[in-house]
Amino acid sequence: MSKKHLGLGTGWRSLSIAVVVSIGSLAVSAQKSPAPAPQNQPPAQSSDNAAPTHITPEQAKQLFSLVDELLKFSSQETGLPVKSDVKRQITSKAAVETYLKEKFDEDEGSKRLQRGEIVLKKFGLLDHDFALKPFLLALLDEQIEAYYDSKTKTVNMLDWVSIDEQKPVLAHELTHALQDQHINLEKWNDQTPDDVSLNATDDSVHLAKDEMDTARDAVAEGQATAVMMDYILKPMGKSLVKDPEVMDTVKQLMNSSDQSPVMSRAPILLSESLLFPYKEGLSFEQDVWMDQGQAAAFAGALDRPPTSSWEIINPREYERKHVPPVPILPDIHPLVDALYKPYDIGQVGQLDLQILAEIYGGDAAARNLTPAWDGGIYWAGQRLDAKTPAAQASTKSLALFYLSSWKNAASAQIFARMYADNLGRKYSGLKPDLDAKRTTPVGVQEDAYSTAEGPVLITTRGKLVFVAESFDLDLARNLTSQILDAQGTGDLRMATTNPPTILNPSLCHPEHLDSRTRVTAKMTGKVLLIPLGLHAVHQERPKGVEGPASCIASTTAGAPGSGSPRTGLGPWGGDPSPLGTGDGGALEPLTSNLVHFFSSSGVMKAAMQAEITAASPAK
């Protein structure tokens, strides 16, 4: 739900593991030397009684020399220069596991683990009886591989994994080293604030910066995975750019969890969050590389990183410097602060919506609704009377609202019905609230339900759907009215300025997104303080001005893009389908915590094992 909630922060990049996906028969001829047989796989995937194996001193010497060779390869592939030597060391499984456990217990991100888990369960993205922390620990234990530590600037190789098995992983990890030398990964990949958002000003800042880390994770891992794949493909004279058709096979095999017993048990939320920075990040890099060249795909994407999962999924929009809209959140605190303390706030990005739709409606719903997504935000508060740890750990202590925006009213109606149909998966005692129905305001499309955790109100207005859960009915309706009204009407429901102006370019960089501008909401005429970054309607950055396109104050939207060939989106990303298409706050979109956790902790050894096995010559 929030990267800062469920992720372990950038300090966990030290445990980053390469995603090495299987490319089936293409990889067979790419590997010069035989890979280890399945029975010789690392102990992380073997029984507790299996005797551990260790590389010899001579093999360790070979590993050390490989670092320079693979660093040079990564530099040639990316165009990123080698500015300094990369420190290297060989570590043991016991040392890695000890470090892993200590970091999990001590890292600030892990302290937010329970907080984010409750919100995920409130949304229905995780079952109420699912224990997240034990699962993540088991996953990390199963998946650990060679990793680059961006704090110590050291690549760590493992003494229980063969040289051949570590080669493609090292190509991946040394790409992170080059990225680090180019932009300082510790700072670059940690843009979202860590604090709890306590007021309207903070709310706006958090929403403006919300998906930055998710997008940057996808860039970092996508680049490293592209280098790794080209390392595998090079011996056969192929590459991702010259032979783009290999991506279909790569993606298909990347989705397989056959080699990972833990991943095979993962809920959809976790598996999709795990794959996103690698699978979609790789596709993003391939598209930009093919369209605009190596410099744009590597140094360019690091210097001007995308700001949202929407840009990763739709790389053509990134190339046109478009950014997705973020609905306006007015000052709700006078309404809620008497009963609730702020607990979580964030965007519901396109990735989040895709996962939510898949969980609620299956693959077909995800395919049809995801392209019609047009922004979303949520807020959760914890009841002030939830005093005990047990009470605070329960979803009953939370109330939340979720505003989703759609490209057409038909999609909004379908989503509202799907959401209502799934309330029973997360609430007991669900039934229509007939008393509330009798008091529904005239002209309002509203569905009300009672549950064991309080009322649920779902209101549809044109292309907008607003859901309020566990607030009392009067408060839910007040929030619904205030937040829907703030969006205005028509295509330009976002707040805009008049006349068109270019604001101070220095404020348009991500690090200055806490800047404000006074704007007037189109429908209400009220003057609101909106952060730069919250009122873009697919605007385009002016030439020479970096940062979110929403730094452009304008009364009109930028020119529509042509969409992404990978998603089939039409102009504006429109859907061609029949639809027409306590401490440490939660500060990011629904799934970004998990995306960041997985990309920073590295949990894709299973795919790597599948590639190695597939590449092993037949005896």
Would residue 587 count as lying in a domain? no
The low-confidence residues of the chain, meaning pLDDT below 70, are: 1-53, 106-112, 114, 253-259, 489-619
> Domain limits at 464?
333-491+567-573
Span 415-433, pLDDT tens digits: 999 999 999 999 999 999 9
Among the listed residues 65, 49, 309, 240, the one whose alpha carbon sits nearest the alpha carbon of residue 170? 65
> Residue 48: what pLDDT?
42
- Say whether both 251 and 358 belong to one domain: no
What secondary structure does DSSP assign to 334-359, as a single string? HHHTTTEEEEEEEE--HHHHHHHHHH
Nearest to 448 by CA among 420, 406, 479: 420
Which residues are within 8 A (CB) of 207 and not within 5 positions of it... i.e. 6 or more apart? 326, 329, 345, 346, 347, 377, 531, 533, 534
Residues 487 and 505 both lie in one domain: no
pLDDT at position 110? 58
Q: Is-contact 116 1, C-beta < 8 A?
A: yes
Both 253 and 369 in one domain: the answer is no
> Would you state the structure tokens that stand for residue 522, as one six-digit string?
């189109």
Domain-embedded: residue 68: yes
How far is the CA of 611 from the CAs of 74, 157, 232, 317, 327, in angstroms?
20, 19, 10, 32, 42
The verdict on 269 and 369 lying in the same domain is no
Q: What is the pLDDT of residue 352?
A: 95
Is residue 484 included in any domain, yes or no? Answer: yes
pLDDT computed for residue 54 by the predictor: 82
Judge if 375 and 461 occupy the same domain: yes
pLDDT at position 618: 45
Which H or E run includes 177? helix 163-183
Please tell me the pTM assigned to this model: 0.75
The whole-angstrom separation of Cα 178 and Cα 81 is 7
SS3 call for 382: strand
Residue 206 shares a structural domain with residue 262: yes
Is 42 inside a domain boundary?
A: no
Same domain, 295 and 162: yes
pLDDT at position 102, please? 75
Total domains in the fold of the chain: 3
Residue 24 belongs to a domain: no
- Report yes or no on 422 lying in a domain: yes
Residues 69 and 93 in one domain: yes
Nearest to 187 by CA among 508, 509, 511, 507: 511
Indicate whether 46 belongs to any domain.
no
Spatial distance between the Cα atoms of 193 and 200, rounded to a whole number of angstroms: 15
Query: Do 238 and 382 share a domain, yes or no?
Result: no
Same domain, 262 and 361: no
Quick one: angle between helices 592-601 and 212-233, nearest 10?
40
**Domain identity same for 522 and 390:** no
Tokens, residue 138: 């088991």
Could you list the beta-strand ranges (E) of 122-232. Answer: 147-149, 154-158
- Any domain includes 146: yes
CA torsion through residues 491, 494, 495, 501, sign: negative
**CATH number of residue 372's parent domain:** 3.40.1000
Are both 297 and 189 inside the same structural domain?
A: yes
